[in-house]
Chain A
Amino acid sequence: MSTQNTFDMAAVESIISQRKATPGALLPILHDIQGVVGYIPPSVVPAIADGLNISRAEVHGVITYYHFFRQHPVGEHVVQICRAEACQARGCESLAEHAKELLGCDFHGTTDDNKFSLQTVYCLGQCASGPAIQIDDDLYARVSHEKFNRLIQAKRGVQ
């Protein structure tokens, strides 16, 4: 996986300057950057630290503390499978095994063709209708193995 992907540094600078006066600006800034770039490139850390007048270590500490922020690019589609208790009671572990097999990658991994990244999530709030998954921004509930296959197939078909 490359961390050398190019991204729009001007957009990042603009996010920092727009947000820096907000009280507690760091999380909103990181959310905006990840929204635009897809991840938080390590090379933006000095700019954020300068903008907020805090140390680079503090920025790095926040990025690495939160599960949501990632420091490297992910596949074209992010597949998140809920593995918390309510989904466990409805068979999410079997779905998790099936997903690993179908996609050919482990959790926290990305498929060789860079099409899918597979992630664990603890609770999507669909606890009465598990197993629940999220693909990119879309939620799916009552996901059987067959339904999972159909959803992945649909994503493989369209760019």
Chain B
Amino acid sequence: MTVTIFVPRDSTALALGANETAAAIAKEAKARGIDIKLVRNGSRGMFWLEPLVEVATDAGRIAFGPIEEHEVAGLFDAGFTTGGKHPKALGLTEEIPYLKKQERLQFVRVGITDPVSLDDYLAHDGYVGLKKAIAMEPAAIVQEVTDSGLRGRGGAAFPTGIKWKTVLGAEADQKYIACNADEGDSGTFSDRMVMEDDPFMLIEGMTIAGLAVKATEGYIYVRSEYPHSIANLNEAIDAANKAGYLGKNILGSGRTFNLQVRKAAGAYVCGEETAMLESIEGKRGMVRAKPPLPALQGLFGKPTVINNVISLSAVPLILSRGAEFYKNFGMGRSRGTLPMQLAGNLKYGGLVEKAFGVTLRELLYDFGGGSESGRPIRAVQVGGPLGAYMPESLFDTPFDYEAFAAVASTVGHGGLVAFDDTVDMAKQARYAMHFCAEESCGKCTPCRIGSTRGVEVMDKIIANQNRPQQIHLLRDLCDVMVTGSLCAMGNMTPFPVLSALNHFPEDFGDQPLATAA
């Protein structure tokens, strides 16, 4: 009897030796005359267990991990394909608490299917949403997305349906769907996981977006640091084209949607939507002033829907299960689920999809298991390099756009980076300014000059030169950046800086600094 064995092809698994483990499994099985089918699935998102080897059984998949190349022979010796005992056996994968406690609506296939197999996608409810959308009027699709309460998952949290409605209402000979997959924020990898581990979900979401706003061309702008995402997307796009899910006359509907991947070139600011458009057009990724809104004059001057990977890939689910189903998850005006990314100094880092409302503390301790170093968690940066550093006193904040805004923080793209008590918050504040200086597009002065001045001021504070005056200057500078910058790069860099200063004043010298930001 053929035994099916799964070894992930997700890039984190690869970075931890999954290819070597897979090769060793194939070799051992052959040498021992065991008939196996080796599937390269996506990752379950439990990265401390990668490479995670799974074996299909009648009761479900059984997991072993982490399994390095040199441990493979031992697995076979223990009879892992026939239920044998092994010290690294984890039991049924689905029963692992980290997974069981999640609400995986959107990441339902991630880690289960072969990412580039269209058959696998179809066998797991793939393209149900598109088939429904084809039978609907464009305005009805837009309404369904509006009713779901979906807000932009890239960080800005703008209602997706409203954006789509603007593009649908715009008259033009050509409209575009542009997917922002320039996931440059440290501590985030959910876009990467969608593209590597379930690329058809994104492709389906973009196709539905095309039908909804009458756009026939789509671009996915993927960062150059994600070669595996680019490869998997291209393979999946080819398969979708061949099977009639993309291209002309999609599933016999008479509708057209063409999709292509554009490789970015390592400029963080191109994650800003208008800089991304400039980059796709072949120019320097300089931020555009708004108005005009990209929804009216976007890519190549045409009406364009710009959404993040997670927003677009939530759409198939919303269409297949209905807006009501999706809307029933979440709290307040934050509806649905958010794939959160647990990163930095945590024992159990990985992907956790939960409905909005889960607290930071639950994520850090119930899922994350506390710090990997064993020291107390002192600060958590939520939402990437432009997100605030949150102290322990704010760990009970629920994940909700409004609740985070109320404590001068941001949900952003749902990534959180934990630091233990060895962190020096003045250095982190300096780094935030330094990063902005490195990555500023240079178009507006508060960001271009302000960030460089910010590094200088931080250097003086760290060197204990006239601290009270320098801190006053720093606050003044942050105020100029927040109110005067053209885009989020400049007007959000003060978030990490001021949160470090306000919540951790002891790292900035002994001055009392409890002034609100």
Contacts and interface: CB of A to CB of B under 8 A. Distances in A.
A36 interface: no
Contact of B16 (A23, A27, A142): A142
A127 B344 contact: yes
A126 B11 contact: yes
B344 A68 contact: no
B184 A128 contact: no
A127 B349 contact: yes
A81 to B, nearest CB: 13
A85 B385 contact: yes
A35 to B, nearest CB: 10
A28 B343 contact: no
Contacts of B11: 125-126, 139
Interface string A48-89: 000010000010011001111100000000000000111111
The A contact surface, by secondary structure, is loop
Size bracket, chain A contacts? 35 or more
Contacts of B48: 128-129
Given A67-B265, A85-B431, A127-B187, A141 B15 contact: yes
Interface stretch (A2-10, A95-103, A104-112, A116-124): A116-124
Given A90-B344, A132-B15, A127 B282 contact: no
A129 B192 CA distance: 14
A65 B267 contact: yes
28 contacts: A24-B262, A27-B264, A31-B265, A62-B284, A65-B267, A84-B186, A85-B187, A85-B381, A85-B385, A86-B186, A86-B187, A86-B417, A88-B431, A89-B417, A89-B420, A122-B184, A122-B435, A125-B11, A125-B189, A125-B226, A127-B188, A127-B344, A127-B417, A128-B12, A128-B346, A129-B16, A129-B50, A130-B343
A140 interface: yes
Nearest to B344: A89
B285 interface: yes
A24 B420 CA distance: 45
Interface of A: 23-28, 30-31, 52, 58, 61-62, 65-69, 84-90, 121-130, 132, 134, 137, 139-142
A30 B263 CA distance: 11
B423 interface: yes
Contacts of B423: 89
Nearest to B345: A89
